[in-house]
């Protein structure tokens, strides 16, 4: 029987109290027996924490807690069997047992403290699952290496790497704060253990493996890869005051969580103090309210007002939902751009990584590298309203002052997949349209170069900033199949650059004769606008007496704020966006 009631197993806690289990000794397969005690988190005894994934929601196993049988998942049951000591009691924090899952108030108060719970644990056990022959080579290699310096991807078979980084633990959102905040994270797979730092080292080397793109592709299975790649930088950011939700949420949106609310709550332990004060953990509230309030808060960021607009729109902008179009539906399933692109672009893993995460939709990655160099960083609380941003009392309407500079004349969606032939054919069609419609440029040569610059989002440069070639030259080589190095090496990265910029977006022609890359659902008649407080253009759609927010856009020759500087006072209007 599944018993979780106050008075039998769980009792009300004080404001800074948590529960710990004391797991009795035993051998593998014996019943799990433990007691549950309340302790003060400000002055805790020595304890360890468990980071794992629930796996199946079916709770077909039991653990005896304070002489009551509690149903638990299969994965937790196996993990506790492996962790249990044969001769001594161990003290653990385990979410499924230390939080009363049936009591909303208990869950809300305990989740609010999870960051501190993992910070104060002497060790965090990262349970990756039972041993498997498919990735045994990786596990054995990590456990047996004499030092981190010996960890080299080239020594490992690619199928084993793919299986290892495809384990469910690497897909979950909650595990990010659990591992990042831990004093001593130790990964366990079956009965073998290794320092988690070795997994971080392996993942980083996979990206920068010079053997070519195949081993880099082994890391594609790992949804946590972006954070693993920046693990040390994230550690420095956390030490300097926290990771702003404005950047953390876009960077982690492909990680999985079961409850919609946890898309926000799972990051609070990593967030800045201001963000933690603003977000109140409350599982009794409708998630749509939480999400709308959070989006409004992010848009008002005093560090960079309106920067969050780059992430907003998408599914919410299509209408028919309960959320305003200026918000972002953080619960919507995101397509992994890498998985769509990688098979069609034979580009070295290091170059593809760089290009994939410096596209308009992933500005948080660029911020992270810069931020790690200037900690500590703080963010003062923002009021929901200013001379730049105003909201209606019910948060249904966002009012922004700005100017309309252009209008979409035609929109042409990009291919849905990364097929090379489809992309080349589509771009050639766009090139023909550009030659006829890009009237903002007087000569065919200027028209062609501007068209190509739109495709790759600016000048075509090496990663050190040196101009490699004109976009037009790179485009011609790509179309003709000549985009290979003279030594017969891997394909040049122009193909990947075009896909990384254009995937799930549309190429558009404006009424003034410019080309642009815009959100995928942009339509003819949509407006291109600049808003006070931001130098980048955005797409709006007219409604009866308001506007819908579609998303950000890239117009090469409108990105430097010239239109704002030249605007007359009469050009400025207030856009009421719902």
Tens-place pLDDT, residues 471-497: 888 889 889 887 654 433 334 577 878
Residue-wise pLDDT for 230-270, tens only, equals: 899 999 999 999 999 988 998 898 899 988 889 999 999 99
Answer yes or no: are the C-beta atoms of 577 and 399 closer than 8 Å: yes
Which pLDDT tens digit goes with each residue over 161-198? 989 999 999 999 999 999 999 999 999 999 999 999 99
Q: Each residue of 125-173: pLDDT tens digit?
A: 999 999 999 999 999 989 988 776 777 777 788 889 989 999 999 999 9
Query: Residue 521 has what pLDDT?
Result: 92
Q: Residue 209: what pLDDT? A: 60
The percent of residues above 90 in pLDDT, for the chain, comes to 55
Pick the range with the lowest mean pLDDT from 76-80, 329-333, 341-345.
341-345
Is the entire prediction scored with pTM above 0.75? yes
DSSP state of 388: S
Residue 47 CA to residue 120 CA, distance in Å, equals: 8
Which has the higher per-residue pLDDT, 419 or 122? 122
Put residue 288 in one of left, alpha, beta given phi > 0 → left and psi -120 to 50 → alpha.
alpha
Per-residue confidence band for 222, with pLDDT thresholds at 50, 70 and 90:
confident
pLDDT at 461 over 80: no
- pLDDT tens track for 503-546: 889 999 999 999 999 999 999 999 999 998 888 899 999 999 99
Q: Please tell me which of 140-144, 248-252, 336-340, 547-551 the model is most confident about, judged by mean pLDDT.
A: 547-551
Cα distance between residue 555 and residue 560, in whole Å: 10
SS3 readout for 332-377 = CCCCCHHHHHHHHCCCCHHHHHHHHCCCHHHHHHHHHHHHCCCCCC
Mean pLDDT to the nearest integer, 374-398:
60
Question: Which pair of structure tokens corresponds to residue 326?
Answer: 């200026």
State whether residue 113 is helix, strand or coil: coil
Q: How far is CA 280 from the centre of its chain?
A: 21
Average pLDDT over the chain, rounded to whole?
82
Residue by residue, what is the 3-state secondary structure of 163-200? HHHCCHHHHECHHHHHHHCCCCEEEEECCEEEEHHHHH
């Amino acid at each position: 029987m599944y018993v979780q009631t106050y008075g039998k197993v769980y009792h009300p806690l004080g404001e800074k109290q948590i529960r710990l289990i004391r797991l009795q000794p035993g051998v593998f397969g014996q019943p799990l027996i433990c007691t549950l005690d309340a302790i003060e988190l400000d002055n805790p005894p020595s304890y360890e924490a468990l980071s794992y994934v629930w796996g199946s929601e079916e709770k077909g196993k039991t653990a005896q807690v304070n002489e009551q049988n509690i149903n638990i998942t299969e994965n937790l049951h196996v993990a506790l069997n492996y962790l249990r000591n044969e001769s001594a009691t161990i003290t653990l924090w385990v979410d499924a047992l230390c939080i009363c899952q049936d009591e909303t108030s208990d869950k809300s108060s305990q989740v609010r403290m999870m960051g501190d719970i993992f910070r104060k644990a002497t060790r965090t056990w990262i349970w990756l699952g039972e041993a498997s022959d498919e990735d045994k080579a990786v596990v054995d290699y990590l456990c047996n290496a004499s030092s981190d310096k010996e960890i080299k991807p080239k020594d490992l078979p690619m199928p084993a790497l793919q299986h290892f980084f495809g384990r469910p633990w690497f897909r979950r959102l909650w595990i990010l704060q659990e591992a990042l905040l831990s004093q001593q994270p130790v990964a366990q797979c079956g009965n073998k253990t290794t320092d988690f730092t070795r997994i971080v080292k392996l993942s980083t080397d996979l990206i920068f493996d010079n053997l070519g793109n195949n081993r880099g592709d082994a890391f594609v299975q790992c949804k946590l890869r972006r954070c693993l790649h920046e693990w040390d930088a994230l550690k420095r950011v956390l030490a300097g005051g926290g990771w702003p939700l404005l950047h953390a949420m876009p960077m982690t949106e492909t990680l999985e969580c079961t409850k919609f609310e946890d898309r926000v709550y799972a990051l609070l332990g990593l967030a800045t103090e201001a963000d933690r004060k603003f977000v109140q953990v409350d599982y009794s509230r409708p998630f749509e309210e939480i999400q709308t309030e959070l989006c409004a808060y992010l848009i008002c960021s005093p560090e960079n007002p309106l920067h969050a607009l780059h992430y907003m729109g998408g599914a919410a902008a299509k209408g028919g939902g309960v959320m305003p179009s200026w918000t972002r539906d953080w619960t919507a399933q995101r397509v992994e751009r890498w998985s769509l692109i990688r098979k069609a672009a034979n580009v070295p893993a290091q170059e593809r990584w760089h290009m994939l995460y410096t596209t308009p939709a992933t500005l948080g990655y660029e911020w992270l590298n810069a931020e790690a160099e200037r900690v500590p960083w703080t963010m003062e609380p923002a009021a929901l309203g200013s001379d730049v941003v105003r909201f209606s009392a019910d948060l249904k309407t966002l009012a922004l002052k700005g100017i309309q500079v252009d209008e979409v004349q035609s929109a042409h969606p990009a291919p849905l997949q990364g097929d090379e032939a489809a992309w080349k054919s589509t771009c050639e069609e766009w090139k023909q349209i550009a030659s006829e419609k890009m009237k903002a440029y007087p000569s065919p040569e200027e028209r062609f170069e501007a068209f190509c610059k739109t495709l790759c989002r600016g000048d075509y440069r090496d990663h050190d900033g040196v101009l490699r070639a004109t976009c037009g030259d790179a485009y011609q080589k790509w179309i003709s199949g000549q985009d290979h190095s003279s030594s017969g090496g891997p394909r040049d990265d122009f193909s990947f650059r075009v896909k990384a910029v254009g995937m799930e977006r549309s190429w558009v022609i404006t009424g003034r004769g410019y080309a642009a890359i815009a959100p995928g659902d942009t339509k003819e008649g949509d407006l291109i606008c600049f808003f006070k407080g931001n130098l980048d253009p955005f797409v709006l759609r007219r409604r009866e007496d308001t506007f819908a927010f579609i998303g950000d856009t890239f117009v090469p020759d409108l990105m430097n704020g010239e239109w704002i500087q030249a605007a007359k006072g009469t050009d400025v209007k207030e856009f009421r966006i719902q």
